[in-house]
């Protein structure tokens, strides 16, 4: 700069900004903090987290996606890592903890290379080369699993380590039965829409009381006590309209001056409801499910005709009822006829815990089913629900593509061994990055061993030795505190889940590595930093939902 020349100011004075190595270090530290927060939950012997919000409500879980969703995260890079867990959960339903732990480890290994002077572009190139090889190896190492026993093993692997652990085998069989019932074959390929499996929960009883209903459970009771409690050979009408007299949108008054006209007015109203009920009766329906309301007078007439009626049924439940019973949802009572009715062997009201629920069972060819979860407390049933939803998704995926990989860290150990061999062929600085990628993969077996109380270093040495001998299915046996063949033990991970976890973790890691400048944007308001006004411009995690002081 020439003497006397004023400096050019681009950013406002006081703008929070981090550049170069400081920005990279801050971002990597934030990502590592998130990964470290949930790595103790990984595996069958993983621990749970208790998340407490500002009003004292608690969530107890070891599901990575649930924990990260509930945590109050401030740092922008940490939020990117949380997004990986969300994407994994939405796409494949499981493997969220693995994806986040891997992302944190990719960045941790990259950090040591950055300190040695290796450029971040070289690291990301090396990581991508390694990932391309991983995809080839995954397809090569995948095992066919299209029988029921394999599906049960996949469900058991998903459920292990969750609070459902004690009832693993019972719940696994329920999940596989449910998936088999809703699976459909289209153009020679099996397709499973996991949303057709409705998971309901009720406190009370034990987890072993959880049951699969060959039909649906609706969390509603009959609208009138004089209606039949049980309807056999049910013919079900699904109506998306109210059995009520519509109110005018403008304010209106009805003035009756002659007392004798009051009866006429009431009779007319009564006739309207009689006609509505007559239309239902004419269709030969003996069960009515309405998405809207049912007037008290209409309830009375329905009860007189012996029709079981339920009101304000959720739209999603109506759609599932249509699939399960073969009914057509009608929007106008005039369109209701015998052809639009669905069929079920039985519709009955049962008391579950303190509530009454409607059970629609014995559907001929149900393409929608229910699992009713029981458990001692609300926290138990909520965690079982999360566990079952994960298991349903992974079994559905396995049913569709019938490909699994050995679990227990076996696949990561085998990939690490093969990637090291590949690194020697590449050479140059990329070789360092590819070797770092291989070391990062080993975080999964190492963490599984740590969480099971095993010596992580000795276990990893033994595991490497077995894989060098060609025992590619050997992984961590957390039950026996040793290493053994994961396939023989029946520990399976779906190919799609693993592939998505590797890809998601690598994508976010490379994106973070390429950031060399963090600048507070205009949108942050009031000159705050992107870290939410934390000291030093970029803070860590903001705790867990405003946890109250103890």
Active site residues: 63, 96-97, 390
Phi–psi pair at 45, nearest 5 degrees: -105, 15
Question: What stretch of H or E contains 443?
Answer: helix 443-451
Nearest residue to 367 via CA among 236, 196, 217, 237: 196
Q: Is 69 exposed, middle or buried (0-12, 13-18, 19+ CB in 10 A)?
A: middle
Which whole-number Å values give the CA distances from 340 to 218, 277, 325, in the listed order?
Answer: 20, 16, 10
* Tokens encoding 307: 């029709």
DSSP class of 255: -
Q: How far apart are CA 236 and CA 253, in angstroms?
A: 38
DSSP symbols for 210-241: -EEESEEEES---S-TTS-SEEEEEEEEEE-S
Selection from 219, 212, 218 nearest residue 197 by Cα: 212
CA distance 513 to 118: 12
Nearest to 347, CA basis, from 391, 313, 375:
313
Pairing state between β 189-191 and 184-186: antiparallel
Evaluate the CA torsion angle 451, 457, 462, 466 in order and state its sign. positive
């Amino acid at each position: 700069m020439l003497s006397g020349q004023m400096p050019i100011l681009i950013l406002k004075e006081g703008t929070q900004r981090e550049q170069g190595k400081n920005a990279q270090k801050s971002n990597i530290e934030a990502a590592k903090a998130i990964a470290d927060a949930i790595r103790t939950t990984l595996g069958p012997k993983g621990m749970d987290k208790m998340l407490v919000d500002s009003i004292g409500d608690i969530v107890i879980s070891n599901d990575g996606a649930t924990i990260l969703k509930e945590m109050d995260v401030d740092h922008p890079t940490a939020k990117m890592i949380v997004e990986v867990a969300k994407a994994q959960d939405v796409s494949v339903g499981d493997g969220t903890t693995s994806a986040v732990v891997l992302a944190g480890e990719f960045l941790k290994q990259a950090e040591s290379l950055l300190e040695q002077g290796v450029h971040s572009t070289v690291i990301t190139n090396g990581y991508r080369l390694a990932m391309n090889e991983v995809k080839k190896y995954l397809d090569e190492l995948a095992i066919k699993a299209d029988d029921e026993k394999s599906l049960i093993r996949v469900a058991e692997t998903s459920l292990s380590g969750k609070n459902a652990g004690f009832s693993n085998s019972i719940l696994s069989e329920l999940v596989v039965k449910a998936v088999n019932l809703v699976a459909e074959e289209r153009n020679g390929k099996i397709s499973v829409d996991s949303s057709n499996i409705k998971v309901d929960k009720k406190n009370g009883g034990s987890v072993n009381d959880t049951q699969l209903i060959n039909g649906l459970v609706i969390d509603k009771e009959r609208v009138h006590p004089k209606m039949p409690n049980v309807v056999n050979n049910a013919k079900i009408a699904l109506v998306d309209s109210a059995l009520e007299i519509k109110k005018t949108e403008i304010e209106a008054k009805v003035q009756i001056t002659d007392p004798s006209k009051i009866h006429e007015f009431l009779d007319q109203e009564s006739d309207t409801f009689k006609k509505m009920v007559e239309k239902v009766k004419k269709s030969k329906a003996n069960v009515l499910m309405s998405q809207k309301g049912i007037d008290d007078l209409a309830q009375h007439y329905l009860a007189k005709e012996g029709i079981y009626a339920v009101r304000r049924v959720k739209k999603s439940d109506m759609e599932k009822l249509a699939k399960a019973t073969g009914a057509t949802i009608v929007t106008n009572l005039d369109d209701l006829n015998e052809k639009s009715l669905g069929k079920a062997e039985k519709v009955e009201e049962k008391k579950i815990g303190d509530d009454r629920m409607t059970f629609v069972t014995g559907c001929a060819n149900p393409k929608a089913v229910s699992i009713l979860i029981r458990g001692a407390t609300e926290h138990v049933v909520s965690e079982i629900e999360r566990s079952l939803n994960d298991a349903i998704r992974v079994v559905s995926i396995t049913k569709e593509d019938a490909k699994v990989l050995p679990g227990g860290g076996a696949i990561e150990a085998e990939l690490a061994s093969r990637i090291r061999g590949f690194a020697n062929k590449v050479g140059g600085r990329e070789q360092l990055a590819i070797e770092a990628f291989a070391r990062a993969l080993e975080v999964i077996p190492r963490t599984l061993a740590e969480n099971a109380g095993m010596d992580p270093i000795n276990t990893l040495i033994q595991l490497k030795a077995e894989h060098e001998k060609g025992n590619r299915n050997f992984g961590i046996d957390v039950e026996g505190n040793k290493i053994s063949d994961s396939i023989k033990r029946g520990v399976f991970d779906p190919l799609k889940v693993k592939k998505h976890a590797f890809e998601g973790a690598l994508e976010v890691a490379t994106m973070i590595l390429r950031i060399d400048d963090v600048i507070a944007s205009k949108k942050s308001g009031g000159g705050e930093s992107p870290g939410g006004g934390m000291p030093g411009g970029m803070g860590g995690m903001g705790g867990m939902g405003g946890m109250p002081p103890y």
